[in-house]
């Protein structure tokens, strides 16, 4: 048990986090986790309600002497991003996360850990269960499907929550308090076609695999300059198309809109063994090039080409489609678009080319745009639409937009939190605006008037299998939060 997270402090938080790792909870699969949280609240004898979106609200009365304090909402989301390394056989709808202690951090074996936002959920559970804290009336708000569209937050309505103060527990850097965040919008592109089934006998099929990239959260990590597997793969494909007249059979890169794609795979067809050998040389050259370009940012990028047998399942994307697709992806913007002029080192607008996926006569390309400016968010979506309209895509559509969270630097709760932080640590916290999407803006649009802030312990590389949470900051987070509840 020496390496078990159950030995970590605060024990009451880590025991609940361990329980969460044992329950499959990828976005879109909320049945088991919401039943678990609902049962948890009822077993404590607390008022527990569920809405149509399977959000759960658990109400805990004030401790003696704090009855006249304002009701505080502790908000976190139940779902997690399902990302695993390609060599890890893992079913996020069935398998349990294997969390372990690695020095100062808790990590998972080859998968996302789910500290985003499991630590927030576990901390709220510990507060609801505790009998030795001092606080006013509390509402634990547990939302669903945040990672895929914030659908739980969209469904929250007045009456389901009654508090006037909301503490969002979904930030990921100890010592920072967030008072605003970017909004987001999806852009979806489709090419529809009839696959070509005839392949000359002398042709050779090659699987090209790009792996080893760090990936990460497309909001939190977008400023780090990490490689996008889709963009790199199509750099190679364009060169191979122009040099060796290759044919594209299939492409698969990325899996989630809000994760920077870590891997991409393509099956191509070339006319003859000699070109296959040249493709291998080209791939090796690109592997060296990519590692030079991203030295100090990525670790070891691996780019490999291997022979695969041509079977009836291998068909060809029409040449005109592969040409339009390739040039459009090369032309599309990706990564940071601009920074805030008035907030140093903070991203204002970005775009993530998250997914390129082909299957049976259909190729999808999916983006997630983020911006703290609605007009700039609209502009970057428009630029994607224009590129693919010129490239004659069959569908180019923006949608599923959600609002940003406008900063309120004069927040009364923020003032209290700054004072408590300085009393505890002898220094002032950083007050920031986050580029990643938080549920605060959506909930505020549905329940106006909430005084809202966001904070949390240090979590690195969320949305990737490298996700890890710093153990010492979880104790600091607990001490800080419980002091805030006492002081508000």
Question: From residue 218, how far is each of 81, 224, 277, 316, 352 by CA, in Å?
Answer: 12, 10, 36, 32, 6
Using DSSP, state whether 268 is helix, strand or coil.
strand
Question: From residue 469, how far is each of 4, 5, 311, 416 by CA, in Å?
Answer: 14, 11, 45, 26
Residue tagged active-site, from 79, 145, 466, 470 = 79
Helix (H) or strand (E) holding 477: helix 471-487
Residue tagged active-site, from 38, 116, 145, 146 = 146
Give the CA radius of gyration of the chain: 24
In the sheet with 430-434, reading across from the earlier edge strand, the strands are: 47-50, 56-60, 138-143, 72-77, 165-168, 451-454, 176-181, 430-434
CA angle 331, 332, 336 (to 5 degrees): 130
User: At 205, phi and psi to the nearest 5?
Assistant: -95, 140
Residue with tokens 């106006």: 448
Torsion of CA 341, 343, 344, 345, to 10 degrees: -100
The reply to whether 79 belongs to the active site is yes
CA angle 75, 81, 84 (to 5 degrees): 150
CB within 8 Å of 296: residues ≥ 6 apart:
none
The bridge status of strand 459-460 relative to strand 259-260 is unpaired
Would you state the structure tokens that stand for residue 304, as one six-digit string?
């490999």
Tell me the catalytic residues: 79, 146
């Amino acid at each position: 048990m020496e390496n078990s997270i159950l030995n970590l402090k605060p024990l009451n938080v880590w025991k609940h986090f361990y329980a969460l790792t044992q329950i499959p909870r990828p976005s879109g699969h909320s049945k088991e986790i919401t039943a678990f949280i609902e049962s948890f609240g009822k077993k404590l004898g607390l008022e527990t309600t569920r809405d149509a979106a399977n959000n759960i609200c658990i109400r805990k009365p004030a401790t003696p002497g704090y009855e006249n304090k304002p009701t505080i909402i502790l908000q976190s989301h139940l779902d997690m991003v399902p990302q695993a390394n390609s060599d890890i056989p893992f079913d996020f709808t069935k398998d349990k996360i294997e969390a372990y202690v690695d020095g100062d951090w808790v990590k998972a074996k080859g998968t996302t850990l789910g500290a985003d936002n499991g630590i927030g959920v576990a901390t709220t559970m510990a507060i609801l269960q505790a009998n030795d804290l001092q606080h006013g009336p509390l509402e634990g708000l547990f939302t669903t499907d945040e990672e895929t569209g914030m659908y739980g937050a969209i469904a929250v309505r007045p009456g389901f929550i009654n508090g006037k103060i909301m503490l969002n527990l979904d930030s990921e850097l100890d010592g920072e308090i967030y008072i605003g965040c970017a909004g987001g919008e999806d852009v979806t592109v489709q090419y529809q076609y009839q696959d070509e089934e005839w392949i000359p006998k002398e042709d050779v099929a090659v699987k090209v695999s790009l792996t080893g990239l760090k990936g990460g959260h497309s909001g939190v990590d977008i400023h780090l300059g990490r490689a996008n597997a889709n963009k790199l793969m199509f750099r190679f494909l364009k060169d191979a198309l122009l040099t060796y007249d290759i044919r594209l059979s299939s492409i698969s890169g990325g899996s989630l809109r809000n994760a920077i794609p870590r891997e991409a795979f393509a099956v191509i067809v070339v006319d003859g063994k000699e070109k296959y050998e040249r493709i291998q040389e080209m791939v090796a050259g690109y592997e060296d090039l990519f590692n030079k370009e991203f030295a100090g940012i990525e670790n070891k990028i691996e780019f490999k080409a291997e022979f695969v047998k041509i079977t009836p399942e291998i068909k060809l994307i029409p040449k005109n489609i592969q040409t339009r697709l390739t040039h459009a992806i090369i032309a599309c913007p990706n990564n940071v678009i601009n920074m805030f002029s008035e907030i140093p080192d903070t991203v204002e607008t970005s775009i993530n080319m998250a997914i390129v996926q082909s299957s049976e006569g259909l190729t999808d390309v999916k983006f997630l745009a983020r911006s703290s400016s609605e007009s700039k968010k609209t502009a970057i979506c428009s630029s994607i639409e224009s590129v693919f309209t010129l490239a004659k895509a069959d569908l180019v559509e923006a949608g599923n937009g959600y609002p940003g969270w406008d900063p309120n630097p004069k927040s009364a709760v923020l003032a209290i939190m700054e004072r408590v932080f300085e009393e505890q640590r002898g220094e002032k916290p950083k007050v920031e605006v986050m580029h990643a999407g938080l549920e605060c803006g959506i909930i505020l649009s549905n329940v106006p008037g909430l005084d809202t802030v966001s904070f949390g312990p240090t979590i690195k590389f969320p949305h990737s299998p490298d996700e890890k949470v710093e153990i010492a900051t979880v104790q600091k987070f607990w001490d800080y939060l419980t002091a805030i509840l006492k002081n508000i």
